[in-house]
């Protein structure tokens, strides 16, 4: 099972957001995607998940074309995602945010839930138990019956990842999961994500937090102006002068990249506070 | 977390009192109805019809979050189903239950037909287009004289009967409507709690994220439109049978708006809210009848104060049938 981008392009009017990107992602690994603001990282995630259409080129999973499918069909092919700006079902409880993910598998029997109460109760109990297990993995069990919008920001990030995991996806796409998190939460996130690595799962993490990327990822691609600039292990990325130049123009070591990440975190911190 | 916990433990006793109170009032009202004069029973019947309509429309507005202003179209479909199939108009005299079934199916079909073109629309655009649909249906009925009798409508509709029992007096319709409301209310409440109901809520909250977790939003929305329209159509058929007369006048935009207001005033997305909203918007004008032209002013002021005091509706979203049952029978 591999996820393959073949000569992928995305243009928004005049702007070329993704320019001829071809690469492949293997299962069992965590793939990092880094690059300066506007490099096209989110666009890659959005096209893979079907949120945006592909201008040209193709995306295939296991040889099966994804880019021609509708967004919900892509999700049902085993691709789950989180969003750069958290998108939860705000006025549903934390556990309902997960329970609703059983829709594709169980909607055909919805009428039975309506006419046969014991069946409905059994279904509800089973769904709740399964989702409670996932909430526990993310230490969210205490928030199960709290509206998603009532959760602290860091918990909302966790809940969004939890929701993405309900369907046990083959491909997990995370767009800046650490954005707006404090040091403590980022450490917690790193641990949780590491535990999600599985031989039959492809994980792709877009992130600006270089510490997180370097510790978490097995392989990293560097995007720059919509192009795939570099691909390698964390060590290779850190050693690459191309990458340093891309980030800062005049960068001469990884510390500058870290400084850029710090800067970025500060920006997000401001955005986060405004949001809540 | 502590705050959440105390809330949860402090509530049950209050909830118990409220639940028993609600049940007692409902039973008292039901038991008293047979002894009320016909005029009052008719008012209660109209209340029940509006509750039925509210339950139907709430699926689209409250659960799925789509502002539909053309709901009255489905009410008309049901009413004219009865008008055409049980009157001298076409010389057809089908049994009431058969017509109810036909009306339900026709309602579902029109619900889907009107739903398909508006699938991509949301918010204001959806409201305007559905408003247009409601009006189109009314205008068609108005102009299809050879079939619908045009503005004069159809008179002398058959008396309804179910399995040989005649449904003719207001009190008969009261029982029929009460049973229908309880049945439909239960089905809709169970639907809301089913996986489909959860998907409706997800679409309401964030349609795109709903697609992202694999929800075929087209199908889920059409299911909402169809269910909602079916209920509207059933309400229309019973309405026509109780009036024994149908005309386009009963299906104006004002009716759609009234049902939306009921839902908003009562508490969006909550079945009990609809009952409260209907009680205020249907009963109050009747009670204020003596004040003639003043009553609209009264109602206007009441609406404004309600929306200021309780912007989320009279009945809190959390007080639904589930809470009532828990309040009545313990945990
Ligand atoms: N919906 C859109 N319409 C038009 N242009 C867009 C749209 N989304 C992204 N772009 C443009 O495409 C380019 C790539 O954007 P993208 O969001 O993929 O960058 P990114 O690498 O995720 O950046 P960041 O780190 O800021 O999240 C940018 O120039 C951006 O302005
Ligand atoms: Mg981005």
Q: Which residues contact A182 (CB under 8 A, 6 or more apart)?
A: A154
- The yes-or-no verdict on residue B9 having pLDDT over 50 is no
Q: Which residues contact A276 (CB under 8 A, 6 or more apart)?
A: A152, A153
**Best B213, B216, B318 residue to mutate vs chain A (most A CBs within 10 Å):** B213
- The yes-or-no verdict on residue B311 having pLDDT over 90 is no
A92 in contact with B, Cβ within 8 Å = yes
C-alpha to C-alpha distance for B211 and A51, rounded to whole angstroms = 9
| CB-closest option in A75, A113, A142 to B1 | A142
- Report how far apart the first and last C-alpha atoms of chain A are (Å, whole number): 40
Nearest CA in chain B to A100: B198
> Which CATH number characterizes residue B208's domain?
1.10.3470
Q: Please state, as a whole number, how many other Cβ atoms lie within 10 Å of the Cβ of residue A199.
A: 8
pLDDT averaged over every residue in chain A: 89
State whether A96 and B4 contact (CB < 8 Å). no
Domain-located, residue A14:
no
Query: Domain total for chain A?
Result: 1
| Of the listed ranges A226-230, B3-7, B245-249, the one predicted with least confidence | B3-7
Taking the model in full, what pTM does it have?
A: 0.90
Domain that holds residue A185: 35-44+51-218+226-249
| CB-closest option in A49, A89, A115 to B202 | A89
Domain-located, residue A153:
yes
Phi/psi at A139 (5° precision) = 55, 40
pLDDT of residue B112: 95
Nearest CA in chain A to B185: A114
Nearest Cα to B108, choosing from B229, B214, B223? B229
Q: What is the pLDDT of residues A240-273, one digit of tens each?
A: 877 777 765 544 455 656 666 666 656 655 444 4
Q: What is the pLDDT of residues A90-148, one digit of tens each?
A: 999 999 999 999 999 999 999 999 999 999 999 999 999 999 999 999 999 999 999 99
Question: Separation of B81 CA from ligand 1 center, angstroms?
Answer: 54
C-alpha to C-alpha distance for A21 and A227, rounded to whole angstroms = 6
CB B258 within 8 A of CB B134: no
Burial of B312 (C-beta count, 10 Å sphere; 0-12/13-18/19+): middle
Q: Which residues in chain B have Cβ-Cβ distances shorter than 8 Å to A81?
A: 212
Query: β-pairing, A202-206 with A30-34?
Result: parallel
Q: Which residues pair with B162 in a beta bridge?
A: B165
Nearest Cα to A36, choosing from A245, A241, A214? A245
State whether A83 and B187 contact (CB < 8 Å). no
Q: State if residue A177 touches ligand 1 by the CB under 6 angstroms criterion.
A: no
State whether A51 and B194 contact (CB < 8 Å). no
Ligand nearest to the CA of A264: 1
Q: Which residues in chain A have Cβ-Cβ distances shorter than 8 Å to B204?
A: 91
A90 in contact with B, Cβ within 8 Å = yes
CB A202 within 8 A of CB A25: yes
Query: β-pairing, B165-167 with B160-162?
Result: antiparallel
Q: State if residue A39 touches ligand 1 by the CB under 6 angstroms criterion.
A: yes
> Which CATH number characterizes residue A172's domain?
3.40.50.300
- The yes-or-no verdict on residue B13 having pLDDT over 80 is no
> In chain B, what's the furthest Cα-to-Cα distance?
69
Q: Which residues in chain A have Cβ-Cβ distances shorter than 8 Å to B190?
A: 113-115, 117, 120
Q: What is the pLDDT of residues A52-82, one digit of tens each?
A: 999 999 999 999 999 999 999 999 999 999 9
- The yes-or-no verdict on residue B3 having pLDDT over 60 is no
Domain-located, residue A207:
yes
Secondary structure letter of residue A202 according to DSSP? E
Q: Give mean pLDDT, residues B64-72.
A: 92
> Which residue's alpha carbon is nearest to atom 22 within ligand 1?
A42
Nearest CA in chain B to A120: B194
Nearest CA in chain B to A78: B214
- Which residues of B make CB contacts under 8 Å with A? 1, 4, 187, 190-191, 193-196, 198-199, 201-202, 204-206, 208-217, 219-220
Domain that holds residue B243: 2-329
Atom of ligand 1 nearest to the CA of A41: 21
| CA A176 centroid distance within chain | 7
C-alpha to C-alpha distance for B315 and A269, rounded to whole angstroms = 38
Query: Domain total for chain B?
Result: 1
| CB-closest option in B198, B216, B217 to A99 | B198
């Amino acid at each position: 099972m591999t996820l393959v981008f073949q000569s992928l392009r995305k243009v928004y009017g005049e702007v070329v957001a993704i320019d001829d990107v071809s690469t492949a992602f293997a299962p069992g690994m965590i793939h990092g995607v880094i690059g300066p603001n506007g490099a096209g990282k989110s666009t890659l995630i959005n096209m893979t998940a079907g949120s945006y259409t592909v201008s040209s080129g193709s995306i295939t999973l296991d040889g099966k074309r994804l880019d021609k499918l509708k967004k919900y069909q892509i999700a049902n092919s085993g691709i789950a995602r989180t969003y750069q700006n958290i998108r939860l079902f705000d006025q549903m409880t934390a556990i309902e945010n997960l329970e609703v993910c059983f829709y594709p598998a169980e909607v055909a029997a919805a009428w039975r839930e309506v006419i046969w109460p014991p069946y409905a109760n059994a279904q509800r109990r089973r769904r709740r138990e399964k989702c409670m297990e996932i909430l526990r993995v993310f230490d969210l069990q205490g928030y199960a019956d709290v509206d998603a919008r009532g959760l602290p920001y860091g918990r909302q990030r966790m809940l969004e990842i939890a929701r993405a995991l309900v369907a046990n996806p083959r491909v997990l796409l995370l767009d800046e999961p650490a954005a707006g998190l404090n040091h403590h939460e980022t450490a917690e996130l790193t641990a949780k994500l590491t535990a999600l690595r599985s031989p039959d799962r492809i994980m792709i993490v877009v992130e600006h937090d270089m510490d997180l990327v370097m510790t978490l990822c097995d392989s990293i691609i560097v995007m720059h102006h919509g192009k795939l600039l570099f691909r390698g292990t964390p060590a290779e990325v850190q050693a690459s002068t191309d990458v340093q130049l891309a980030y800062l123009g005049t960068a001469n070591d990884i510390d500058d990249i870290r400084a850029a990440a710090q800067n970025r975190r500060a920006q997000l911190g401001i955005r986060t506070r405004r949001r809540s | 977390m502590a705050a959440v916990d105390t809330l949860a433990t402090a509530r049950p006793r209050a909830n118990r009192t409220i639940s028993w109170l609600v049940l007692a009032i409902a039973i008292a009202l039901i038991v008293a109805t047979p002894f009320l004069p016909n005029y009052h029973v008719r008012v209660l019947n109209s209340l029940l019809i509006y509750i039925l309509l509210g339950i139907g429309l709430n699926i689209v507005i409250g659960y799925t979050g789509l502002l539909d202003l053309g709901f009255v179209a489905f009410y008309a479909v049901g009413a004219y189903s009865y008008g055409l199939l049980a009157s001298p108009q076409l010389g057809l005299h089908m049994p009431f239950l058969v017509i109810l079934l036909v009306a339900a199916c026709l309602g579902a079909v029109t619900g889907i037909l009107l739903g398909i073109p508006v699938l991509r629309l949301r918010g204001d655009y959806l409201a305007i287009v559905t408003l247009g649909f409601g009006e189109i249906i009314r205008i068609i009925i108005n102009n299809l004289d050879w079939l619908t009798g045009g503005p004069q409508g159809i008179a002398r509709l058959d008396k309804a009967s179910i399995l040989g029992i005649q449904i003719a007096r207001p009190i008969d319709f009261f029982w029929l409507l009460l049973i229908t409301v309880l049945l439909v209310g239960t089905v809709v409440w169970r639907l809301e709690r089913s996986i489909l109901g959860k998907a409706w809520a997800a679409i309401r909250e964030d349609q795109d994220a709903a697609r992202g977790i694999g929800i075929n939003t087209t199908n889920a929305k059409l299911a909402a439109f169809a269910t909602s329209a079916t209920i509207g159509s059933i309400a229309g058929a019973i309405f026509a049978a109780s009036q024994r007369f149908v005309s386009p006048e009963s299906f104006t935009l004002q009716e759609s708006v009234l049902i939306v207001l009921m839902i908003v005033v009562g508490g969006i997305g909550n079945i009990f809210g609809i009952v409260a909203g209907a009680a205020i918007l249907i009963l109050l004008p009747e009670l204020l009848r003596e004040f003639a032209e003043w009553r609209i002013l009264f109602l206007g002021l009441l609406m404004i104060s309600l929306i200021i005091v309780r912007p989320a509706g009279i009945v809190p979203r959390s007080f639904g049938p589930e809470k009532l049952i828990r309040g009545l029978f313990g945990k």
